[in-house]
């Protein structure tokens, strides 16, 4: 597999990471996500990692990268479904996922995003400005 699918749900993008991200896959995911944020005017990115039992520094860095990239594209990133062992490993590795919010599951993550972007923005559908392409 070369690409992880990104699902659009209203103002948010949802990504489910089910396999270990090797180099190419991670780079593609970063690029796809930023392009998708640009194209759709999404205000939030939800990354579900409930399928990951282990995490390494590479994966931690990728999550941080996605958070930083989304941030400068004016979108918040929420990582959801983190397993306890993964949280322990991340801290032991010294990766605090700065700039990335976390929530227990997708539903809670969506609520968090709705709070972050504000109720007014959440119902506004005219954010994307690439209509001239």
* Interface ranges with its own copies (CB under 8 A): 1, 3-5, 7-10, 14, 16, 18-19, 48, 50-51, 81, 105-107, 110
Nearer to its own copies, 51 or 85 (CB): 51
Distance CA 100, CA 51 (A): 19
Nearer to its own copies, 96 or 111 (CB): 111
Q: Kindly state the smallest distance separating residue 84's Cβ from its own copies, in Å.
A: 16
Q: Are 69 and 61 in contact (CB under 8 A)?
A: no
From start to end of 49-100, where are the E strands? 76-80
Query: What is the dihedral sign for C-alpha 98, 104, 105, 108?
Result: negative
Q: Kindly state the smallest distance separating residue 72's Cβ from its own copies, in Å.
A: 26
Q: Are 106 and 46 in contact (CB under 8 A)?
A: yes
Q: Kindly state the smallest distance separating residue 94's Cβ from its own copies, in Å.
A: 27
């Amino acid at each position: 597999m070369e690409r992880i699918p990104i699902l659009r749900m209203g103002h948010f993008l949802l990504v489910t990471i089910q396999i270990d991200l090797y180099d190419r896959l991670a780079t593609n995911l970063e690029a796809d996500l930023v392009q998708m944020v640009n194209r759709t005017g999404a205000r939030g990115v939800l990354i579900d990692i409930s399928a990951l039992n282990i995490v390494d520094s590479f994966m931690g860095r990728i999550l941080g990268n996605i958070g930083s990239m989304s941030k400068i594209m004016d979108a918040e990133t929420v990582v959801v479904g983190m397993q306890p062992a993964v949280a322990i490993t991340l801290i032991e590795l010294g990766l605090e996922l700065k700039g990335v919010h976390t929530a227990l599951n997708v539903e809670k993550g969506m609520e968090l995003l709705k709070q972050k972007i504000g109720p007014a923005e959440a119902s506004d559908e005219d954010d994307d400005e690439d209509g001239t392409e």
